[in-house]
A = this chain, B = another copy of it.
Amino acid sequence: MHHFNLNPKLYLVTDRCWLGERSLAVSVEAAIQGGVTLVQLREKEVASGAFLNLAQDVKAVTDRYGIPLIINDRVDIALAADAAGVHLGLEDLPVQAARKLLGPHKIIGASAATLEEAAAFQKQGADYLGVGAVFPTATKLGNETVNLDDLRKIKSAITIPVVAIGGIKAENAASVMRTGVDGVAVVSAIMNQSDIRVAAMRLMSILKEA
């Protein structure tokens, strides 16, 4: 369907709030050097112009490494930055509306928390699913709605790639991968680490062994 080689094995979702003095582009580069296979730029509190600038900065890095860049929510930013695609949450544009704007060759990911949602998004033309939250996260406590058994059931019923998300870190990543999912998406397990490259390397080696 699309030109990009979608490998969501270690999927980095950005969150600048963990970065302190480090720039986002530099942090993303370190994460890619550590093995991240897909990057999502997620920015909730930024104006459109600044979001586009940030997307362009990060895309200069992801392009250099041949890693697809996914933009959270904003189809216009994805188009303006010529990113690889978008990730849509339940409150974002419907998958079909985004597909109409993006055309057949861009990646559209969608967030699902149940098998019903997952099946619906697959039917609507999503290219991959982010499923969770599997564990409580640093930013959202008590939001875990998908356990490992649910994850296994969703994965076995769905043909597009399934990425687990929510509180995944080195300590629990192997148990998540053993459900059969295609990858894990992480925020703080990479972004909140003092050595981002090493954190990504460590996670990737766990994913490969699992």
Q: Which residues of A are interface residues toward B (Cβ below 8 A)?
A: 47-50, 52, 73-77, 79-80, 90-94, 97-98, 100-101
Contact = CB atoms under 8 A, between A and B. Distances in A.
Contacts of A97: 52, 80
Given A50-B91, A76-B98, A80-B101, 5 more contacts: A48-B93, A49-B93, A74-B76, A76-B93, A76-B101
Contact of A80 (B50, B52, B77, B100): B100
19 contacts: A48-B74, A48-B92, A48-B93, A49-B91, A49-B92, A52-B93, A52-B94, A52-B97, A74-B76, A75-B76, A76-B79, A76-B93, A76-B98, A77-B93, A80-B93, A80-B97, A80-B98, A80-B100, A80-B101
Nearest to A89: B47
B92 A73 contact: no
Given A74-B76, A76-B74, A91 B52 contact: no
Interface of A is mostly: helix
A198 to B, nearest CB: 36
A192 to B, nearest CB: 26
Nearest to A52: B93
A85 to B, nearest CB: 13
A46 to B, nearest CB: 9
Contacts of A73: 48
